[in-house]
Chains A and B, each alone.
Chain A
Amino acid sequence: DGGITQSPKYLFRKEGQNVTLSCEQNLNHDAMYWYRQDPGQGLRLIYYSQIVNDFQKGDIAEGYSVSREKKESFPLTVTSAQKNPTAFYLCASSIQTEETQYFGPGTRLLVL
């Protein structure tokens, strides 16, 4: 059945390490998004992609990188340049931008 998956569910990172969060969808959606959620704050957009091989920075892109080599996949790399990476990361997809977004289950990243 169709859906959007994220892995891992929990991720621990040592300071100075880069880590990559996986996001895969089999909904045949063109648009994909990465959000960060911190306690007491709304979701904030990190990056989004409207189509394969294209992506745009969101509000808080510094310290993050993405790729969109395949329609189904939109991995997010949290680099060592991200000074406060501990957060809940949510991936979403939609048929096109401005349409209903379908969310993955999220990945909790903790820096040790």
Chain B
Amino acid sequence: KNEVEQSPQNLTAQEGEFITINCSYSVGISALHWLQQHPGGGIVSLFMLSSGKKKHGRLIATINIQEKHSSLHITASHPRDSAVYICAVGKGNQFYFGTGTSLTVIP
């Protein structure tokens, strides 16, 4: 059983659509991270959350600690948002990673 589950696994959207990617986890955590991996393989950290909500440009991340659930929203999606989005949770010295959501935004 994975400690971190993401849905959907694959997502295709039209440019301009509002996108939601979900993450559920089963372990107690100190923080949750959303990462973006581009086709070349490089990974960029988007958000680190321990409670509430964070916003950066068109990206919004929320977390509900009681329900052990987080969502990543992308408003006004654009083809350059096409990437794999990975949810990761930190507990002590360990990180647990979801398998990622592959997003394709079509012009």
A residues whose Cβ falls under 8 Å from a Cβ of B: 33, 35, 40-45, 48, 50, 56, 58, 88, 90, 92, 97-106, 108
Query: Is B93 a contact partner of A90 (Cβ separation < 8 A)?
Result: no
A-B contact count (CB 8 A): 56
Interface residues of B in 8-64 (CB under 8 A from A): 30-31, 33, 35, 40-45, 48
Q: If A88-B41, A103-B43, A106-B41 touch, does A43 touch B97 (CB 8 Å cutoff)?
A: yes
State the main secondary structure of chain B at its contact with A: strand
In the complex, how many angstroms separate the beta carbon of B4 from the nearest chain A beta carbon?
7
Partner of B41, one of A33, A50, A105: A105
Size class of B's contact patch? 20 to 34
A45 is contacted by which of B4, B45, B94 (Cβ under 8 Å)?
A: B94
Contact of B42 among A58, A100, A105 (CB under 8 A): A105
| Chain B 71-90 interface mask (CB, 8 Å, partner A; 1/0) | 00000000000000010101
B86: chain A residues at CB < 8 Å are 42-43
Flag if A100 contacts B97 (CB, 8 Å).
no
Residues of B with C-beta under 8 A to A99? 48
B98: which of A42, A104, A108 is its contact (CB, 8 Å)? Answer: A42
Q: How far is the CA of A43 from the CA of B97 in the complex (A)?
A: 6
Contact partner of B97 (CB less than 8 A), chosen from A42, A97, A108, is A42
